[in-house]
Structure 1
Amino acid sequence: MAPNMSLFSINAILLLSADDGSRILAKYYSPPHIPTNMGTDYPGAQPYTSLKDQKAFEKGLLEKTTKQTNDIILYDNRIVVYKAESDVMLYVVGGADENEVMLYNVVLALRDSLNILLKNSVDKRTLIENYDLASLCLDEIIDDGIILETDPVVIASRVSRPPAQDVPNMQGIDLSEEGLLKIYQFGKQKLGERLRQGL
């Protein structure tokens, strides 16, 4: 086992406009617990801590990838896998020693789950209009730089509707003034009974 192995394999996920390079959605990750005495030389370390550094990295990355036809590059000592969708570039950034196939699976999961959620209309305007779905999609795939899920069907199902056990049954509840008064009287009666019984 290599000494630098870590679950924190993703440094960033970026959705950038292919036209002007503007940021649509970007999430930079770093491990929540930084190892002591390691400086910035540990697995999952985030080299882009300021907004200025992040914007410079994104600008250079877009310039480098718009003329390329492949899906993977080594840029700024980071492995970057990417896909172009309409007028949007999807990027997954990992450390130089990360597994390229694993990172590629993440970018494919992102692309395919966005296609499912946005009904095959992954473009800048649709992403901005459905920012909440795109952000939740990223959160279902990655958490603090750890890959959680790469199956686009599972990701889309988790984002598009809440789990059935978490949705309260709201049928049969009378929310009129009279119904709320009945609920209040019922609660008051039950509280009185509990107090008489000594809780």
Structure 2
Amino acid sequence: MTDLSHPIFARLYPRLDAASARAGGDALRAELLAGTSGRVLEVGAGYGANFAHYPPEVTEVVAVEPEPRLRAKAEGMAARAPVPVTVRPGLAEELDLDDGSFDVAVASLVLCSVRDPVRVLAELRRVLKPGGELRYYEHIKGSTPGKVRFQRWADAVWPLLAAGCHVSRPTDRWIAASGFTVRAERRFEFPASGLNPASPHVIGVAVRD
């Protein structure tokens, strides 16, 4: 199986993400991808929001997206991207890609919603060259007891509304424990104000050991 269908979410997400982009999300995507080069794998590429931010040093992007409606939108975005982008179906847990075949792997707001994030990280490590980079931008488990409690309550319903997204995953800790050395990492709240269980975020670069 290479498709996961979420028709309502797929229709709503590009509109929601456009609002996020205007609030600062575009700058975060640009920060995530700054300095990338060579052959890049992006898992859970969605509708292709990252494509416009890849620098010219990137020779190819292979973008994997299991949701067919989002994937169709991503193909349109790929045609306008500043670097070559190939969009293909597939699950991040089961990448049909060769070992050590990428210079960079990108996980952008996706490890919250995959079924087995630890397995995904193992797959990303497998397809990276030794010394290859994992670039990640994810929302994560909060740092205060109150926020963590709020996220646990939210996770009772949030995944049903947001295509399996969980707001309380300690993704940053899983990355550090998955055969990567974290080289740079920044934690922040986005949006910076308001009552939002998904506001704790991390953006970082880790290197395959």
TM over 0.5: no
Q: Which has the higher helix share?
A: 1
Higher relative contact order (CA 8 A, sep 6+): 1
Q: Higher Cα Rg: structure 1 or 2?
A: 1
Q: Which has the higher strand share?
A: 2
Q: Give TM-score, length-normalised by structure 1.
A: 0.30
